[in-house]
Amino acid sequence: MANIFLFSCFVYLILLFANDVEAVNDGIGFYELKKGDFSVKLTNYGATVISVILPDKNGKLDDIVLGFDSIDDYKNDTTYFGAIVGRVANRIGRAQFTLDGTDYKLVPNDGRNMLHGGPKGFSDVIWGVGSHDDHHVTFIYNSVDGEEGFPGDVAVSVTYMLVETNKLAVKMRAMPLNKRTPVNLALHAYWNLGGHNSGDIFSHTIQLLASRITPVDEELIPTGEIVDVKDTPYDFHKPREIGSMFTQLPDGYDINYELDDRNPGHLKKVAVVQESVSGRKLELWTNQPGVQFYTSNMLNNVKGKDGFVYAQYAGICLETQGFPDAVNHPHFPSQIVNPGDIYENIMIYRFTAAH
């Protein structure tokens, strides 16, 4: 009964906005959530986080996410700054998979592979706006059957909400309406706790509550293995500086970690990130099985906010998710969602600043 009720709610949302698609698609809006000195700015283009502003240990306000000043820059962006990516985040090998005996050919956009939903994934569409006030905003999108090669219509929503003190909650939801289909959404925010314009993230200290990774080949497609990180540069079980072992890993980090807490749907702590100069600390929780840790290795002097140029390693991404290429690795946690069932990816960020 619960699923039928949720299904009805999703269908209602889609029908509510279906008659206003043209109006929605003509308008890109900007939304600010604010609670004291903590504020988050967003746009319905790509359901994107534009800025996160909060005080450091001395009360100085800084914007701690990388991004752009102009919406045109977001439209031409290849970095996925702050966007919701999907229908399937991360990579799908050879842009294809088989489901229920049917072979699906997707649209490649990363060599012969698909990355973050294809050339026009969820990061490159205009979402509808379901509701908003000073503390929350909900964006909605109807992904149609065949979009970028994926089967079935899917009703999608993402809610950003400020809760308690300096906490940002993000709830991504999706419901297939008529066909089984893979769903794996992710928020692709780039964080720099010293401020978006403060340089590289080598001195950030990070702890990842994950003991295993899914290794990748030269095209960054998982090999299918799940290996222990102990005594390797990937081991962040004990907090250490991100740059402390870069000499052993010259290309930086871009890898999926399997979280230690494998209880499906259970909300668990993923990571703790700290920056000593500002005193800021980020703690992240999720209900997902994995997190992609990415040190912006592919940034190449991108002109961002206030004219600041983001060089390589200017930010870190912590994308809670299902495992990359899970559609082609049956032993990975499944991303296939049945019609009427609800996919949900929850992220909670807690920010503090030591005095």
d(CA 321, CA 185): 7
Alpha-carbon distance 355 to 346, whole Å? 30
Nearest-angstrom CA–CA distance, 245 and 232: 9
**Would you say 188 is a known binding-site residue?**
yes
Residue among 116, 188, 196, 329 flagged as catalytic:
188
217 is in an annotated binding site: no
Facing residues of 49 across strands?
42
- Please check if 18 is assigned to a binding site: no
Which of 147, 196, 319, 329 is flagged as catalytic?
A: 319
Say whether 188 is catalytic: yes
Sign of CA dihedral 115, 281, 41, 270: positive
**Active-site residue 319, yes or no?**
yes
Token duo for residue 40: 């988050």
Contact status, residue 353 vs residue 55, Cβ threshold 8 Å: yes
Q: Which helix (H) or strand (E) holds 52?
A: strand 48-55
* H-assigned helices in 135-222: none
Say if CB 280 and CB 193 are below 8 A apart. yes
Q: Are 215 and 325 in contact (CB under 8 A)?
A: no
Q: How many H helices and E strands in the chain?
A: 3, 28
Question: What would you measure as the largest C-alpha separation in the chain, in angstroms?
Answer: 60
* Phi, psi values for residue 109, rounded to 5°: -145, 10
196 is in an annotated binding site: no
> What burial class does residue 91 get, using C-beta atoms within 10 Å of its C-beta: 0-12 exposed, 13-18 middle, 19+ buried?
buried
Rounded CA separation 77/122 (Å): 13
Q: Confirm or deny that 254 is annotated as ligand binding.
A: yes
* Cβ count within 10 A of residue 73: 16
Q: Which amino acid is at 208?
A: L
Is 91 known to sit in a ligand binding site? yes
Q: Which residues pair with 186 in a beta bridge?
A: 85
Q: How far apart are CA 204 and CA 227, in angstroms?
A: 25
Residue positions forming the annotated binding site: 90-91, 188-190, 254
Active-site positions? Answer: 188, 319
Residue positions forming the annotated binding site for beta-D-galactose: 90-91, 188-190, 254
